[in-house]
A and B are shown apart, each in its own frame.
Chain A
Amino acid sequence: MKNDNKTIAVKMLEPGGNITPVFILLAVILIIAFILDILLGSVSIKPAEIFRVFTGNADTNIETIILRFRLPKAITSLVVGIALSLSGLQMQTIFRNPMAGPYVLGVSSGASLGVALVILGFSSSFVPGNLQNLGNWVLVISAWAGAGAVMILIMFISSRIKEIMTILIIGIMLASGISAIVSIMQYFSSETMLKTYVIWTMGSLGNLSGGQLKVLTITVAAGTILSIASVKMLNALLLGENYAGSIGLNIRLSRLLIFACTSILAGSVTAFCGPIGFIGIAVPHIARNLFGSSDHKILVPGTIMAGGIIMLISDIISQLPGNENILPVNSVTSLIGIPVVIWVILRRRKETGIF
């Protein structure tokens, strides 16, 4: 039992080790990934061109590619990565469940239902036109409501059932049930609405309008600030609710705050980029092992950086550098995230710790 930790090669730091070099390393990788995401794609851009864009004497085509497409997409990737990873970290701590994440527990599906209600339900009967014409805030708030509803449902279930895998299976059932409802709605909706919705479900980082990116950035920034403010609560919740209550934590208030925060983060991303899987569940585990810590003062910034990096890398892969085609980003994140999840499940068989 005692030597289990040593068998994990990925572990960079033993608990209590020096974390500063890891933060510096992550910051450097984050910056490199961000620049690469701008440079690589169907048209490769030389690093020097970026400087020319900002000094104002670049080729107009390249300027358009960078400012209109690549830069917004890179920012979207960064924001999406941060939001999904943070919501995953919070869910894992509050449910004390290493398998929790917005996608696997159906929170993203809940947000999808909210979006589907707007796109397929209301818009087809009241508002002609496409997704762009809808109020961005209407979209985002309906996603929050859907995500929040699922969060409350899962909390209710997990207060009765403590078994981690059972909750996971119920989460999958919830997600399936919601997609069944959405399928029925699709059946009754018009062709144009259906097309809008199907494209949305494929998940995309590049289709956001300027207004949408603004709404996404504002809401994720708000969620991130809330996450940082809830660091002490998250640490106390690691003890479980009884001990957390006995050291003075207001369980109900902190749960409400963290739920709101998770719903905002996961809901906003789902509203504009579609359901993107496995980032939320995988990144917190990567951060935990990079820093060898359970302290959210370290894990929150660590997860923010790791989440940004992984999402930028996913985006780089999905643009297939030097190729005209673009892969659905959801597939890329799944392929990156699933091995991490399997590794966590396999490791759990040996370790007694929950995370």
Chain B
Amino acid sequence: MDTESNKIIVLESLRIGYSSGKHTKELIPPITASSDSGELIAVIGRNGIGKSTLLRTLTGLQESMGGRMFLNNKNIGEYNRMDLARKIGYISTEIVRAGNMTVFDLVTLGRFPHTNWLGRIDRASQIAIENSLKKTGLTTFRKRNISELSDGERQKAMIARVLAQDTDIMIMDEPTAFLDISSKFEIINLMLELTREGKTIIFSTHDFNVAVNQADKIWLMLDSGLLEGAPEDLMLRGSFDHLFESAIVGFNSDDGSFTFMKEPRGNIYVSGEGIIRKWTERAVVRAGYNVSAKEIDITIKSPNHRDRKWMMVTKESTEHFDSVYDLVRRLQR
């Protein structure tokens, strides 16, 4: 089956948590998981489950509390600090604030584990810095002060820094947390491109859709332990049902969406065609009704053009609406 050799990371009963003084707190049952080289792995789970702790432990910023961790089939304890920094790069949500620091300066700091005691930039470092600026599209930003960057540009600069660090593995803690939608997809796209070029990226996210649609593998962190698998495998096994142990939200494994669980106000049949019917059905659900599969007492006739009127037909009356907004307002009365 699996050949151990192309597993870049292997976790065997890894125990994570933190200790302050005598008080220790272990966060999740021992973790057994692995990653192939070149995979994009999404770590998902509720707040406080230990996503950041796991990522910090993988990076070597935090001691594990037991178990074993292999990097390229070698126990992580056999790597010294500098060796590890040449293998694993790290980006968290922490923002670097240093006055007068340019994008170039920031990216240059990624060369730390490769330069001499003074941090002199040799030819190899120069090439690495230029390449990582080019790959992230920041070549023209090199002299820009990092305090003047937008959130998306800043995240790209942080990625460029890790690229300059020239590691096989990138660990990213919520890389899209503060980003607007277009920057978010730019960053995701960049991450996908990098994995295609052979980098292994392990990132945590609260964006379920990104995890399910883009990741090669998901590490799903639940109170009962970590489950791993392709998004679809986890979907079919029903693993995501445990993601929210709540009565308010339900998981729909047909299309991978979440819905609020509430008693429907009634059933409505929606007639019509195509995209207008589809969105009308969604509006009906949003208004708190079930969409019926067959014709019943209440029928909403969705128009075949969005400039025409919506019609709601019941036994007693027929009403017309100019927009979905008006329709929903009526349904919620």
Contact = CB atoms under 8 A, between A and B. Distances in A.
Contact of A288 (B89, B99, B142): B99
A250 interface: yes
Given A238-B96, A351-B147, A353-B99, A247 B118 contact: no
Residue from B56, B89, B98, B148 whose CB has the most chain A CB atoms within 10 Å: B98
A297 B88 contact: no
A238 B109 CA distance: 9
Nearest to A237: B98
Contact of A297 (B101, B110, B118, B147): B118
Nearest to B96: A239
B97 A354 contact: yes
A314 B124 CA distance: 46
A15 B112 contact: no
A232 B118 CA distance: 5
B98 A238 contact: yes
Given A16-B143, A248-B82, A355 B100 contact: yes
| Chain A interface size, under 10 / 10 to 19 / 20 to 34 / 35 or more | 35 or more
A28 interface: no
Given A15-B143, A246-B88, A248-B85, A294 B119 contact: no
Nearest to A241: B61
Interface string B254-290: 0000000000000000000000000000000000000
Given A247-B112, A248-B85, A16 B142 contact: yes
Contacts of B92: 242-243
B29 interface: no
B205 interface: no
Contact of A231 (B81, B90, B118): B118
B81 A232 contact: no
Nearest to A347: B99
A236 B118 CA distance: 11
B323 interface: no
Nearest to A239: B96
Per DSSP, chain A at the interface is: loop
Contact of B99 (A2, A16, A354): A354
Contacts of A229: 117
Contacts of A240: 94, 96
Interface in B48-77: 56, 59-61
A249 interface: yes
B85 A14 contact: no
Contact of B97 (A246, A292, A295, A352): A352
A325 interface: no
B115 interface: yes
Contacts of B165: 247
B98 A355 contact: yes
Contact of A353 (B81, B112, B142, B147): B147
Residue from B61, B101, B113, B146 whose CB has the most chain A CB atoms within 10 Å: B101
Interface in A85-140: 96, 98
Interface string A289-302: 10111110100000
B310 interface: no
Residue from A96, A98, A352 whose CB has the most chain B CB atoms within 10 Å: A352
Contacts of B113: 247-248
A314 to B, nearest CB: 25
Interface in A216-271: 229, 231-232, 235-236, 238-240, 242-243, 245-250
A1 interface: yes
A64 interface: no
Interface string A271-292: 0000000000000000011011
B179 interface: no
Contacts of A239: 96, 98, 109
A247 to B, nearest CB: 4
A238 B101 contact: yes
A243 B104 contact: no
A240 B56 CA distance: 15
A352 B147 contact: yes
A5 interface: yes
Nearest to A292: B100
B36 interface: no
Contacts of B147: 351-353
B299 interface: no
Interface of A: 1-2, 5, 14-16, 96, 98, 229, 231-232, 235-236, 238-240, 242-243, 245-250, 288-289, 291-295, 297, 351-355
4 cross-chain pairs, A with B, having the tightest CB-CB distances, nearest first: A248-B85, A355-B99, A246-B90, A353-B99
Given A16-B143, A242-B94, 12 more contacts: A16-B104, A238-B96, A238-B101, A242-B90, A243-B90, A247-B85, A247-B165, A248-B81, A288-B99, A353-B97, A354-B97, A355-B100
Interface of B: 56, 59-61, 81-82, 84-86, 88-90, 92, 94, 96-102, 104-105, 109-110, 112-113, 115, 117-119, 142-143, 145-148, 165
30 contacts: A96-B97, A96-B98, A231-B118, A232-B115, A232-B119, A235-B109, A236-B109, A236-B112, A239-B98, A239-B109, A240-B96, A242-B90, A246-B88, A247-B112, A248-B86, A249-B112, A250-B81, A288-B99, A289-B100, A291-B100, A294-B101, A294-B105, A352-B97, A353-B97, A353-B99, A353-B100, A353-B101, A353-B145, A355-B98, A355-B100
